[in-house]
A and B are shown apart, each in its own frame.
Chain A
């Protein structure tokens, strides 16, 4: 069979000619009709740039295709060299022969147009259909992507749909013109695991029915193993390993592929956490915690009834999907927002109604690490001021020199060089920034650190490093963690106990092994079944 897309030696550069950086260097791969090829790699590996280069959209981002060939077989059996095609030729190809779906379904849809209008526009634009015909086709497509009540959806606006529904709309729009190739750039990264499983199943089914080829871009090797025939593993702009899925996953030759494979969740085989220390007075005890937020249509309950304890030196993970109230719980415990009901005890002291001044004294024992390492550090403060801020607040008597010594100690503790002291947050990578956040949280030797999705924004290999840092700190300092995450693969590596949250309640709580291997509640079972795992051989339908 002729190749649908043949990419040879693709090289894409960014920056001015005299100091250009290669985002993609000498990349070659082939997509056959109806086949699915996955580009896997971490942020900055050049996988998205490759997608943009194929559609010739990379120039708008300041990039240049400086070498290589991209030959695309058009439906009329003529070949088009994408790297030299004119803008007019590309306009005809984009959306009709090659369609793309993006990571963030909210921003990829126009917020002020109805779903129906946006979908119809694709057809009126590319196929010259009239509005009525286009609307009918849009309706059929919504049905095909398994939207509930498609006729009503046509008249709805993007904000009225959930993330998963929006991604279904995006997929529907991409497939409206029956493209030969669908490029999906991290299409499920912003979605919950259960929704992700549905979307992946949908893409696979549509691909089978319509015979569309798929170029699937992801950082998640486990996810890729469920959908791809061919896998290209990318690192720093080059393909370090590529080949048929089973061969590649069963015998990864390159060390980087092995790292990615090791990082993929394999329930039941995660590193066993250190044994649980003997029960003592808990550092944190939460009883009957509830929080509702006011809204125009009456109060909305985010957390309805949450009770748990965290023992000294223990890690309790709270897992759940977006909107289940896990972050609200963290913020309630930190007293960043006021609870509607319930009781919070920190080290035996009831802090539920403490005034802000008395609460400040309690905060020495309980610190927090936030999700987004890019936004949780004040961009205007140098590292020495950032990580010693808790000292300034809680121990104003410390001399500048003493703070400096402590800052150096903290930096070494989290594995950053001493020279970092005088640098600013923007000069660090994501993983390094999260190390800074951890250093800041450690500065007062707290008894409990609340980590709210602390590794979610990091690449998997960096995730592993930060997780082992956290484990090491726990062994050395005896600090307890309340670890909030949606990622079960991460949770099983770090936590002693797991609490599963759904719709503001804890539905199940127990030792990690027990909850993950023998879940008692149907919701937990559903959640765990949806986690993508490395699969070999025949692709199994997701649960």
Chain B
């Protein structure tokens, strides 16, 4: 007889764990900073001050009090660039994740519910997508459409749809043979009703987990694209490109990498914790009896 002993968690009055409340606060701060970047950033993100290059953050020897988080190799204000980088990175990964989520889920549902031909076609497409090196695809798209923010959004959007499609299809396939879905069919429910009422709500948890994972992955993917020159073009800053371009100065000026890296970490952490929480919230079985 398996018995679940619940972990003791510190919980706020509304039943929200303290860790989740912290994550929500962190996410809110990050989003506000990103949205307000043009208003609160002290400098222009592209302005170079070559006389004030590689200044450490305040508190370290040689710091410039005008640059709280120091400057980079071209004398640009790190605080300003971090704020703008956060803004762009959040926008790119959010839109990329949303596009991938909807595209992949739609195709996954179509594959699972649309009959054998649709399934074969869509899963064939998924296999092709997974077999093609993503960099190559990105290269072609950018070569054809040019590099710009909107193109990058599309490229990031198509980066992970295949993962969603596979996950959604597999989960739906497993659900399809469960008695309660069969019971709904016996009642006479249409395919649409089966999908919308009985099946999709039951796969929310794995999809939420996948979404949060992909969100963090996209931040890193964008940085690797920037690094090989396919992403956002300099001097525009994203968190990923800042880490990529700062890596030559790791030894002498570690803050150039550490600051945006810390932001990436905070974003990922907040997203994961919130995702976990939502995952449990969507599970009616975990609500109190």
Most chain A C-beta atoms within 10 Å of own C-beta, residue among B2, B284, B285, B289: B284
A29 interface hit (Cβ, 8 Å) = no
Are A379 and B285 touching (Cβ within 8 A)? yes
User: B4, B179, B197, B198: which contacts A375 (Cβ < 8 A)?
Assistant: B179
Are B179 and A440 touching (Cβ within 8 A)? no
Are B202 and A389 touching (Cβ within 8 A)? no
Are A380 and B201 touching (Cβ within 8 A)? yes
Q: Mark A331-342, 1 if CB is under 8 A from B, else 0.
A: 000101000000
Q: A372-B179, A427-B289 are in contact. Are A363 and B1 (CB under 8 A)?
A: no
Q: Mark B181-225, 1 if CB is under 8 A from A, else 0.
A: 111111111100100011001100000000000000000000000
A378 interface hit (Cβ, 8 Å) = yes
- Measured in the bound complex, the distance between the Cα atoms of B287 and A426 in whole Å is 10
Which B residues are CB-close (under 8 A) to A380?
Answer: 201-202, 284
Shortest CB-to-CB span from B203 to chain A, Å, is 10
User: B1, B182, B184, B285: which contacts A23 (Cβ < 8 A)?
Assistant: B1
Q: A16-B5, A49-B1 are in contact. Are A363 and B187 (CB under 8 A)?
A: yes
Are B5 and A62 touching (Cβ within 8 A)? yes
Which A residues are CB-close (under 8 A) to B188?
Answer: 359-360, 363-364, 390, 393-394
Shortest CB-to-CB span from B119 to chain A, Å, is 17
- Measured in the bound complex, the distance between the Cα atoms of B5 and A61 in whole Å is 10
Are A14 and B1 touching (Cβ within 8 A)? yes
B180 interface hit (Cβ, 8 Å) = yes
B178 interface hit (Cβ, 8 Å) = yes
Are B285 and A15 touching (Cβ within 8 A)? no
- Measured in the bound complex, the distance between the Cα atoms of B284 and A394 in whole Å is 27
User: A63, A371, A424, A440: which contacts B284 (Cβ < 8 A)?
Assistant: A424
B136 interface hit (Cβ, 8 Å) = no
Are B186 and A367 touching (Cβ within 8 A)? yes
Restricting to B232-281, which residues have a CB under 8 Å from any CB of A? Answer: none
Which A residues are CB-close (under 8 A) to B185?
Answer: 336
For the residues of B in contact with A, the DSSP-based class is: helix
Are B183 and A390 touching (Cβ within 8 A)? no
Q: Mark A298-325, 1 if CB is under 8 A from B, else 0.
A: 0000000000000000000000000000
B3 interface hit (Cβ, 8 Å) = yes
Chain A interface bracket (under 10, 10 to 19, 20 to 34, 35 or more): 35 or more
Restricting to A415-445, which residues have a CB under 8 Å from any CB of B? Answer: 424, 426-427, 437, 440
Shortest CB-to-CB span from B264 to chain A, Å, is 35
Are B197 and A61 touching (Cβ within 8 A)? no
Shortest CB-to-CB span from B237 to chain A, Å, is 43
A368 interface hit (Cβ, 8 Å) = yes
- Measured in the bound complex, the distance between the Cα atoms of B185 and A375 in whole Å is 14
Which B residues are CB-close (under 8 A) to A334?
Answer: 186
Are A389 and B189 touching (Cβ within 8 A)? yes
Q: Mark B61-92, 1 if CB is under 8 A from A, else 0.
A: 00000000000000000000000000000000
A381 interface hit (Cβ, 8 Å) = yes
Are B186 and A375 touching (Cβ within 8 A)? no
Which B residues are CB-close (under 8 A) to A49?
Answer: 1
A483 interface hit (Cβ, 8 Å) = no
Q: A360-B190, A426-B284 are in contact. Are A48 and B5 (CB under 8 A)?
A: no
Q: A62-B3, A63-B3 are in contact. Are A377 and B180 (CB under 8 A)?
A: yes
Beta-carbon nearest neighbor of A369 in chain B:
B183
Most chain B C-beta atoms within 10 Å of own C-beta, residue among A23, A49, A376: A376
Shortest CB-to-CB span from B186 to chain A, Å, is 4
Which A residues are CB-close (under 8 A) to B182?
Answer: 336, 370, 376
Shortest CB-to-CB span from B254 to chain A, Å, is 47
- Measured in the bound complex, the distance between the Cα atoms of B190 and A356 in whole Å is 8
Are A426 and B5 touching (Cβ within 8 A)? no
- Measured in the bound complex, the distance between the Cα atoms of B284 and A424 in whole Å is 8
Which B residues are CB-close (under 8 A) to A440?
Answer: 183, 187
Beta-carbon nearest neighbor of A378 in chain B:
B180
- Measured in the bound complex, the distance between the Cα atoms of B179 and A440 in whole Å is 14
Are B3 and A15 touching (Cβ within 8 A)? yes
Shortest CB-to-CB span from A28 to chain B, Å, is 21
Shortest CB-to-CB span from A25 to chain B, Å, is 15
Restricting to A379-406, which residues have a CB under 8 Å from any CB of B? Answer: 379-381, 389-390, 393-394
Shortest CB-to-CB span from A374 to chain B, Å, is 9
User: A367, A368, A375: which contacts B178 (Cβ < 8 A)?
Assistant: A375
Which B residues are CB-close (under 8 A) to A390?
Answer: 187-188
Are B3 and A378 touching (Cβ within 8 A)? no
Which A residues are CB-close (under 8 A) to B201?
Answer: 380
Q: A372-B179, A379-B285 are in contact. Are A393 and B5 (CB under 8 A)?
A: no
Beta-carbon nearest neighbor of B199 in chain A:
A378
- Measured in the bound complex, the distance between the Cα atoms of B27 and A377 in whole Å is 37
- Measured in the bound complex, the distance between the Cα atoms of B2 and A125 in whole Å is 28
Shortest CB-to-CB span from B273 to chain A, Å, is 24
Are A375 and B1 touching (Cβ within 8 A)? no
Are A376 and B183 touching (Cβ within 8 A)? yes
- Measured in the bound complex, the distance between the Cα atoms of B198 and A48 in whole Å is 35
Beta-carbon nearest neighbor of B201 in chain A:
A380
User: A48, A336, A426: which contacts B1 (Cβ < 8 A)?
Assistant: A48
User: B2, B184, B193: which contacts A61 (Cβ < 8 A)?
Assistant: B2
Most chain A C-beta atoms within 10 Å of own C-beta, residue among B3, B187, B287, B289: B187
| 7 A-B pairs in the complex with CB atoms less than 8 angstroms apart | A360-B190, A376-B182, A379-B202, A380-B284, A389-B184, A390-B188, A427-B289
**Known A15-B3, A62-B2, A378-B197; further 15 A-B contacts with Cβ < 8 A:** A14-B1, A63-B1, A63-B3, A364-B188, A370-B179, A370-B182, A372-B179, A375-B180, A378-B181, A381-B197, A389-B189, A390-B187, A393-B188, A424-B287, A426-B285
What is the interface of chain A, defined by CB distance below 8 A to chain B? 14-16, 23, 48-49, 61-63, 334, 336, 356, 359-360, 363-364, 367-368, 370-372, 375-381, 389-390, 393-394, 424, 426-427, 437, 440
Question: Which 10 interchain pairs have the tightest Cβ spacing?
Answer: A62-B3, A363-B188, A376-B179, A375-B179, A360-B188, A368-B186, A378-B180, A14-B3, A376-B183, A380-B201
